[in-house]
Structure 1
């Protein structure tokens, strides 16, 4: 569909502009010829605008930013294990001279990625859903493939060249300075870079499978990982529909490959030639024993969701959301969404710097001077104030509650103003539920952890889900954790993961 639209757009351009774009393509070709370097994997000449020294420098500069954004998962034994598995794969790669650093990030997001120069990351969120050491090696091998083939610098070089080419072309050719010509160029460049990225993903799959086999792991684990991510995608789409949101698709690891992709299966199966025996190592028990006890979902530093309730040990507070609302725990805020996206609520906290009442805080710090139906909030012995305002034509409930020298700010509303009264009551109830963490809630403020157990004849996913503190769709998430999504069931004697 995109290709058809682009062709129509090009045909609709005046002949002179089309010729100008062709000239510009020639300029980009010239840039490509001027910036070629030998590919460490294929030996072919690739267009790059960065030397290897610059590539390594990029990794060094961005690594601290990644660590600051995500945080390092504080489990040294697990960090050492992932480093060892990663090195086993990297040591037989096409760039063995690099020093590879494999880091587990303290994030529940399902992802893995690499920086130029050998900095490779995997989240504990992704590790929770893997089920063998070979699958872990597949993820790390895929990322090593990106590094060895210099995908990061090649794609960044192509992007910079496209931008530079348009800038130069617009200076030389006035007809390219129109919005229509720029949009056409951006669409063409985006399509080229998108295809470039898909080819890089497939090449990394091929390289990862090759590295798996050469390090005596089962290369078929690459397909197992893709199956895990496909199931995640199906689950995420269903969750998005519950919230009344459009699902944008998973854009991370292996995103461009459904598990029945013929090309992918071909490149993975071709790696069997590198195996020393009939089948490589899988390492299910070895892996499960390593992640036994790993944090699942929210970290204690960001607070814990448990059903409708939220507990934060560090900030010493708790509150309760409306029933069946979807709650998103972000690093600096909490967001809640009513079913089908019919209403929303965002909660943040800010230091109190002046001795002023909550009503003045709303007026001066939040800049809201017009507040209707203002009234004090004095629940749980806390000082607060709330009212209704109208911003950009939308009715919003605003509430501020003071706790421990922090001002907790609640802002919520309905998708349709006709439904505002219906949801306003629920938003106000949430703000009124804020209270200091009680002694009996401290245990609930602890992080959930993965527990690896041998399944008994009395176990079932429904029973495990009923005992779990997983907030959103616990049964489906337990099935996802164990590769049984959708609809699979526990079998006695198996080693499986549950969440406690």
Structure 2
């Protein structure tokens, strides 16, 4: 992600500028003209590197309409603000200098009112109005100058991209505690001015805390690293108290609670994917579907599946037993065995067993003794399937001393690899609106949907609706379901 802002900006003479938010003089190393140019260039890079929904998409239009209402009440209303939806399942949002705002579909799906959407967009607008990227640039430039002085005495390589990479890190991972809190407070001011209920901010805090706890619970059970959401309304007690104070202050000035508009937000999300899109492939219970590539496979019980942009990964819960599927685009015709020989060093590969076809596809299998991620003395069972010019490489491994215990599971996974047919195999999980009935529970809803979101489906459905698994909606209330 650091490449997003790899844009060279000429060094300018230091100057003091009045901050649009605080009205105080700040020492900065970037003019407003350069700030706006940086935003335009960075936005062009983002458009090339991130999957953005088109401007004509109904969800994008809805987000833009809400964002424009909030931006019109912000401290820099003269800027043209651009609101974009990233077709990504991650819980995140970020802003580029000059008014380019991005919110991931994964965060949107977990919002439960238009007021909550206004709060998140207001937070990102706050980063723009307070010129947080410019401040970060000034700090980074001072750091780079310091490095130049140091290098006179101790030569060290660094390039012009070091500076912009530091700014990019701030944009994607957060600007620091003080800046994030300022953006939180600005969000409350802006959304209240726009007529929305600032109390929605507390709802976001609680939802993000539930998602954080659920993510920790799920990944800890699988033995995976836990990543925390960085930005809008980071869930810390200090943040919640400061936000409550800011809400009380704004409500005192405004004298009313404002618009919530829950149904509009839910209606805008109806039919959109939950999690990954068909173009990216999606995990459905213990299955992985990739409609775009036309493939699918299934895992035995207790495998934890993770879809990434570059590969499909899985591991057996609480065990050092792993799976990796990668796609290789072939330049010339090769047999599956040839693909395997190119994928692994020849002195490590043995026991190739090639079959004519499996599920109508050319296929080969091999066993390999070599080091693998998380296992230094590994035995790997690797399979290759060919579909036209595409080679799908499935590798499963464990420590050599226990490999035989899991070989049947490895074979089961490999045998499950086959073509995808939407009519027979179903769609990726999507959000569908549902009216809560008497006797419903999150557990029953999960069972009815065949645990579509895996082991923690009840908790995920509750969090999707801004609730804990122990709380229930009112009978007749409209909620988001996943089918």
TM-score range, shorter chain: 0.7 to 0.9
**Shift, 1:255, TM fit:** 2.6
Aligned length: 449
> Is the CA contact 1:461–1:490 (under 8 Å) kept in the aligned structure 2?
no
Report the counterpart of residue 21 of structure 1 in structure 2: none
TM-score (structure 2 length as normaliser): 0.86
In terms of mean alpha carbon deviation, does 135-144 or 365-374 score higher?
365-374
Query: Which position in structure 2 is the counterpart of 1:441?
Result: 424
> 1:365: how far off?
4.9
Report the equivalent of 2:409.
426
Please give the secondary structure, in 2, of the residue aligned with 1:448: coil
Question: Residues of 1 paired with 2:429 and 2:86: CA distance?
Answer: 17
Of 40, 51, 56, 1:71 maps to: 51
Please, what is the CA RMSD of the aligned residues? 2.6
2:162 corresponds to: none
Partner of 1:3: none
Sort the Cα spacing of 1:201 and 1:475 in 2 relative to 1 into closer, same or farther, 3 A.
Answer: same
Q: Unpaired runs of 5+ in structure 2?
A: 1-10, 157-168
Query: Could you say what secondary structure the match of 2:176 adopts?
Result: helix
Aligned 8 A contact 1:303 1:311 in 2: yes
Match of 2:164 in 1: none
Q: Paired residue for 2:322, among 344, 360, 373?
A: 344
**Is the Cα–Cα contact under 8 Å of residues 242 and 339 in structure 1 kept in the other structure?**
yes
Matched, 1:127 2:108: yes
Question: Where do 1:319-330 residues align within 5 Å?
Answer: 319-330=297-308
- 1:153 Cα offset (Å): 2.0
Q: CA deviation at 1:341?
A: 4.7
SS of match in other structure, 1:63? helix
Partner of 1:231: 210
Cross-structure match for 1:487: 470
2: CA distance, partners of 1:249 / 1:310 = 25
Asked if the contact 1:89–1:211 (Cα under 8 Å) also holds between the matched residues in 2, the reply is yes
Residue of 361, 368, 379 corresponding to 1:389: 368
Contact 1:311 1:317 in 2 (8 A): yes
Which runs of structure 2 are paired with 1:398-477 in the superposition (5 Å)? 398-414=382-398, 416-438=399-421, 440-442=423-425, 444=426, 446-468=427-449, 469-477=452-460
* Equivalent residues in 2 for 1:288-303, closer than 5 Å: 288-303=266-281
Contact conserved, 2:297 with 2:417, CA < 8 A, in 1?
yes
Q: CA deviation at 1:36?
A: 3.2
After TM superposition, the structure 1 stretch with the greater mean CA deviation from structure 2, 112-121 or 424-433, is 424-433
**Secondary structure of residue in 2 paired with 1:346:** strand
Q: 1:468-494 CA distances to partner (integer Å, 9 max, x unpaired)?
A: 232352111100011112422243121
Alpha carbons of structure 1 residues 283 and 381: separation in structure 2 relative to 1, 3 Å:
closer
Q: Is the 8 A contact 2:205 2:235 kept in 1?
A: no
Distance 2:343 2:329 in 1: 11
User: In 1, distance between residues paired with 2:310 and 2:434?
Assistant: 35
TM-superposed deviation, 1:285: 1.9
In the alignment, which residue of structure 1 is the partner of 2:296? 318
Cα distance, 1:291 vs structure 2: 1.8
Q: Relative to structure 1, is the Cα distance of residues 169 and 349 closer, same or farther in structure 2, using a 3 angstrom cutoff?
A: closer
Following TM superposition, by how much is the alpha carbon of 1:305 offset from its aligned partner in structure 2, in angstroms? Answer: 2.1
TM superposition shift of 1:170: 4.5
C-alpha contact (below 8 Å) 1:114/1:146 kept by paired residues: yes
Matched, 1:250 2:233: no
Of Structure 1 and Structure 2, which has the larger fraction of its residues in helix?
1
Counterpart-to-counterpart distance in 2, 1:330 and 1:357: 27
Partner SS state of residue 129, structure 1: coil
Q: Note if contact 2:115-2:200 (Cα within 8 Å) is conserved in structure 1.
A: yes
Question: Can you give the 5+ residue segments of structure 1 that lack an aligned partner in the other structure?
Answer: 1-30, 178-189
> 1:39·1:45 contact (CA, 8 Å) conserved in 2?
yes
* Contact 1:457-1:492 within 8 A present in 2 as well: yes
Shift of 1:233: 0.5
* CA shift for structure 1 position 62: 1.8
Q: 1:486 to 1:260 in 2, by over 3 A?
A: farther
